[in-house]
Chain A
Amino acid sequence: MKALSEQHKGVWVFSENKELMLELLGKGKELAENLTTELAAVLLGHNVKDRADELLGYGANKVYLVDNPLLEKPLAEPYVSALTSLAKQYKPDILLFGSTRKGKELASRTAARLETGCVPDCTHLSIDASKRLLMGRVVYGGNAVATHFCRTKPQIATVPRRVFEKLPYMERKGELVNFDVKLEEPKTEIVDVKKIEAAKVKIEEAKVVVAGGRGLDKKEDFAILDELAKVLGGQVAYTRPLCEDRKWFTDWVGLSGHYIKPALYIGCGISGVIQHVAGIRDSQIIVAINKDPEAPIFEIADYKIVGDLYEIIPALTEAIKKQLKT
């Protein structure tokens, strides 16, 4: 175990996802101000220098740039060698990664090479009285929130989409550090990419989410949820069993899927297993519709309706249409 070093300074952020990078800058700024230190963005890629101004505009005091053809795609070996070389040279105190699936593997591998800790999927980040980073995340399948700190530097955390907000853009000046280092060659090769058919609006962005679970008997029955979502200007979402067991859809809301916090969440025929609840818990208003009065989802609902979703949902669509007209 390496001793804590006083030399480590600065908050760094990195994500290969452009939006998530800006959200990390938003939270990173607050952490850097609490520590009276600077905020830096790590920019990796090929011919990406033009993005530096945007990162400064969203709050970075400094941009560390590694521009190299090997960084064209986010593959572990070149990315991890760029990140770890930078960290060894400039010794950041805190390093935040975006919690995409690629981001998480880069964070894990970077932490391993730097022999430090990493707390993934943090929904709470703050600085304590001893100037340590406190990292909160959901554990035990959604049953608890655990708070951690890291005894080694850099302190690494990963952060999911939409947990923190980006700052408003302002023209800002800052420093661009061009870092030239020999990178490792990738040991994996991407041979094909198939886009997963995406909804028009990403589920994280939806203000209203109408979610369906095992209470729906057929895939076609989602038409009634689509109707309701349309009237509410929202999106339809699914639970994991509908995707993995019934193979009706490809991505789900929950601990292992999307984390959402819409203004309104309506759960239809969803029992509310803890893993699903972990992905919706922070919604502003939760409505639950279920035949089973004992369904656990009712424990976290603001409005509870015990009844047949096949009757309630079309009626609700009509009622909302009527209310919105008057």
Chain B
Amino acid sequence: MLKIIVCVKQALDVTQIKADPATRQLIIVDAKRKISDFDKNAIEAAMQIKEKQGAEVTALTVSAEDAKMILREALAMGADKAHMISDPAFEGSDTLATSYMLAEAIKKIGEFDLILCGEASVDSYSAQVGPRLAERLGIPQITYARKLNVEGNILTAERTLEDSYETVTAKTPVLVTVTAEINTPRIPSLMAIMKASKKEIVTWTAQDLGISKEKVGKTGSAIQVTEVLAPKVERKKIVITGETAAEIAEKLAKELIKEGVVGR
């Protein structure tokens, strides 16, 4: 049977991040955590393959904090197994360190045919962990898939690129990252949520995986952050009003011509 591993991330809910307007410092401590949106598309893609041809689906996450919540969500959507690699030592990991931890976890989990990831995470949006993980495992990657099909040991995917859709094939094992276009993630039923709450989540620490602490967290990361600030907003914020649409439109047209952005 096809073995699928879906990598999921506990991300910050970016809609809840606020900034202090005076200092431009972010206030993120209270922001909710949630499963990164595209990772739900990855789970759904795995479920559709499972329903069509049978597969064993394992959800995997690495996190410095407790991320059982998002694995419960994956289980409720239909994943068979869940693994959490969690250790406070992981705090501050960049994509180099994160892909190392994921690769070590996958080696311990054992055999697989397909690894699915979201195209990127909603909070950092770097789109690096998928290709880096594929490199670590020495397998091909297909990024930005909007369609996916597995037949025997041949995987076919249609990718969304800037100006074209590209259909690509590869032999399994392979890593695929998916876009939001690929499907609409199912909403689990109450029954499924109840059942998922009773399933086991296998939890490993860095030590369980034999991971050296030098290679994870801030020490193991190549990229260091010097500053995170809310963007500067320097806009005129001029309100244009009028009795009629025509009056408003005329005022705006005159302003835009004065700005030199209309007409030549």
Contact = CB atoms under 8 A, between A and B. Distances in A.
Interface in A97-124: 100-102, 104-105, 107-109, 111-113, 115-121
Contacts of A287: 252, 256
Nearest to B167: A192
A299 B156 CA distance: 44
A100 B159 CA distance: 13
A1 B165 contact: no
A255 interface: yes
A172 to B, nearest CB: 30
Given A117-B96, A319-B253, A323-B257, A198 B163 contact: yes
Contacts of A77: 140
A271 B95 CA distance: 32
A300 interface: yes
A298 to B, nearest CB: 7
B215 A1 contact: yes
Contacts of B14: 140-143, 274-275
B191 interface: no
A318 interface: yes
B128 A118 contact: yes
A307 B252 CA distance: 13
A251 B225 CA distance: 31
B164 A193 contact: yes
Contacts of A188: 140, 142, 168-170, 174
- Which of A1, A121, A140 gathers the greatest number of chain B CB atoms within 10 Å? A140
B10 to A, nearest CB: 15
A151 B222 contact: yes
Interface string B1-45: 000000000001011010100000010100000000000000000
A34 B166 CA distance: 40
Nearest to A251: B162
B62 interface: no
Contacts of B235: 286, 299-302
Given A77-B140, A264-B261, A111 B245 contact: no
Nearest to A192: B167
B184 to A, nearest CB: 9
Contacts of A189: 168-170
A323 B263 contact: yes
Nearest to A258: B162
B223 interface: yes
A39 interface: no
Contact of B167 (A105, A190, A251, A308): A190
Contacts of A187: 139-140, 170-171
Interface stretch (B51-59, B104-112, B118-126): B118-126
Interface stretch (A22-30, A42-50, A51-59, A309-317): A309-317
Contact of A109 (B132, B163, B164, B255): B132
A275 B140 CA distance: 30
Nearest to B128: A108
B93 to A, nearest CB: 11
B229 A304 contact: no
B171 A117 contact: no
Contacts of A76: 131, 140-141
Contact of A144 (B131, B231, B246): B231
Nearest to B246: A315
A263 B259 CA distance: 10
Contacts of B223: 117-119, 148-151
Contacts of B228: 139, 144-147
Given A141-B122, A143-B14, A150-B222, A302 B238 contact: yes
22 contacts: A1-B222, A76-B140, A104-B127, A104-B128, A111-B128, A112-B99, A112-B135, A118-B128, A145-B228, A188-B142, A189-B168, A190-B167, A191-B169, A193-B167, A194-B166, A208-B261, A274-B15, A284-B261, A285-B256, A285-B259, A308-B245, A323-B250
Interface of A: 1, 76-77, 80, 100-102, 104-105, 107-109, 111-113, 115-121, 134, 138-152, 187-196, 198, 207-208, 232, 244, 251, 255-256, 263-264, 273-275, 281, 284-287, 298-308, 311-312, 314-316, 318-320, 322-324
Interface pairs A-B: 5 shortest CB-CB: A117-B222, A141-B14, A315-B249, A187-B140, A108-B131
